Amino acid sequence: VLSLIVVSDVLCVTVIQGQDDWGVTYSSTEICALKASTVEISCTYTYPSRVDGRDTEVNETVWFIKLSGNQPVYLRTDSDYQDRVEYSCSEKSCTLRITDLRESDSAEYQFKFITNQPGGSYTGSPGVTLRVTDLQVKVTKLPSSPPELNCHSSCRLPDRSSYIWYNNGQKIQSQTSSTYTVNFNSADSHSCAVEGHEDFPSPPVCVSDRPCERVIYTDRSICALKGSSVDISCTYSSYQTIESKFWFSPERSHQWQSPSQPEDLSEDSQFRGRVQVLETERGRSTLRITDLTESDSAQYHFKFTTQFYEWNSSLPATTLTVTALQVQVTRITVHQSDTEAELKCHSSCSPAGRLSYVWFKNRQKVTGVETSSFKGRVYPGDIISCALKGHENYSSPPVCEFDPLYQEKTHIHTG
């Protein structure tokens, strides 16, 4: 069954896959979303209330994608989606929420529900195609006319999207369309964003072939482990000779002599002895912070000045989130002779890339387990901790909640 729905002049296609009262309806079949933003993918589903005299109950709902080899990847247990995925499900509807979108998240997402009926599982296929894009300013130089700038994305954003343009990092109030014809100064840089998504602008571009005033951050957001080190980098250029440059954090403005005048982070007492600025090549600066603490979570900006100009951008810089690993006890099952525990290695954010985990039981490495989940038999007195592979020195605090008496006091589930 195929139906077309027009809402605010945006065409939405609703597809129902189903037979004999079994079905899944997705609210959209194609979604274009901005890199680093958040997306919600929703569906409703139906099933017969009774089959062969047995009432139907839904036991499990899952979202998944398929990679090469056609094997399903279940989002809640995949390390690429660690701490970025949430389900919000009620009776016969379910919404998948993915935060901090990456280009690698571009895929077809399918919903599956499993019931108590024999063979009573159903998958909505085909699913929802998600395309993740970033914005780019494309410059078209016209003969005898000012250059035309276009705020470009690799997939089609909603037709009624309103755009924001920036000149040298400062918002241009009068421009709201995806194209912009500019009478430019060759020293100026230009960038764009979609209204409502100002935290995810394009990198600034130079309209001319000469260097212009701009700063481009390598990463929009970084997740790092407490106690480790991090490198925050940018490239920069100027039409004029740069006389001074430094890194700062707006969250530290209460320490500045004047709240409107940023001060060098390396002079801040919170960072003394932990900050180093590296310039391995011309036009690239790297801020290295060591021995990270959770209070270092903040946004970090780069600033430069010339004889006649000061880079003072309102564009977002790099946001650092410092996290500590924690072992969460998700389930305890008490048997006659021992106890079975299901544990999860949790963090408030997820470092980029496919993650492998290391589990320790009584300070000894557990072999054969490299996922964020651990399931095994435990005994009173056992202590278990976890770490990211390659970062074993920054492991979680150990847990030792496996004494049946402790479970009774803290109401941990037993079965």
- Taking CA atoms, 395 is separated from 78, 207, 277, 324, in Å, by 20, 48, 28, 8
Whole-angstrom distance, CA of residue 238 vs CA of residue 368: 53
pLDDT of residue 409: 33
Domain ranges of the chain: 23-132, 135-212, 215-323, 326-388
d(CA 80, CA 232): 22
- Select from 164, 195, 283 the least CA-distant residue to 234: 283
Domain 23-132: CATH superfamily is Immunoglobulins (2.60.40.10)
Q: How far is it, in rounded angstroms, from Cα 265 to Cα 277? A: 10
Q: Is the pLDDT of residue 402 over 90?
A: no
Q: What is the dihedral of CA 374, 375, 379, 382, to 10 degrees?
A: 0
List pLDDT tens digits, range 79-114.
788 778 999 998 899 999 999 899 999 999 999 999
Q: 187 is written with which tokens?
A: 């020293």
Query: d(Cα 63, Cα 196) in Å, to the nearest integer?
Result: 27
Place of tokens 């960072």: 271
Position 403 scores a pLDDT of 53
Assigned token pair, 257: 């002599």
Measured at the CA of 82, the angle between CA 28 and CA 195, to 5 degrees, comes to 45
DSSP letter, residue 239: S
H/E stretch holding 190 = strand 189-194
| Residues 113, 2: Cα–Cα separation, whole Å | 21
- Residues 262-313 have pLDDT tens digits of 999 999 999 989 999 999 899 999 999 999 999 999 999 999 999 989 998 8
Residue 262 contacts residue 303 (beta carbons within 8 Å):
yes
Q: What residues are paired with 320 via a beta bridge?
A: 222, 298
Range among 139-148, 219-228, 329-338 rated most confident? 219-228
- Taking the C-alpha atoms of residue 299 and residue 217, their distance in angstroms, rounded to an integer, is 12
302, 312 in Cβ contact below 8 A? no
CATH 2.60.40.10 holds for 215-323: yes
User: Can you identify the CATH homologous superfamily of domain 135-212?
Assistant: Immunoglobulins (2.60.40.10)
Half-sphere exposure of 8 toward its Cβ, with a 13 Å CA cutoff? 4
The pLDDT assigned to 5 comes to: 28
- 72 is written with which tokens? 């399903």
Q: Which of 38, 7, 317 is nearest to 197 (CA)?
A: 38
Compute the average pLDDT of residues 29-34: 94
Sort strands 30-34 and 128-133 into parallel, antiparallel or unpaired: parallel
Q: What is the pTM of this model?
A: 0.78
Nearest C-alpha neighbor of 319 from the set 200, 157, 403: 200
Q: Output the average pLDDT for the chain.
A: 86
Q: What is the CA radius of gyration of the chain?
A: 26
> Hey, do 23-132 and 215-323 end up sharing a CATH topology, with the first three levels equal?
yes
What is the spatial distance between Cα 247 and Cα 267, in angstroms, rounded to a whole number?
10
Cis-peptide, bond into residue 126, ω within 30° of zero: yes
pLDDT of residue 353: 64
Q: Maximum CA pair distance of the chain?
A: 87
Q: Are 64 and 125 in contact (CB under 8 A)?
A: no
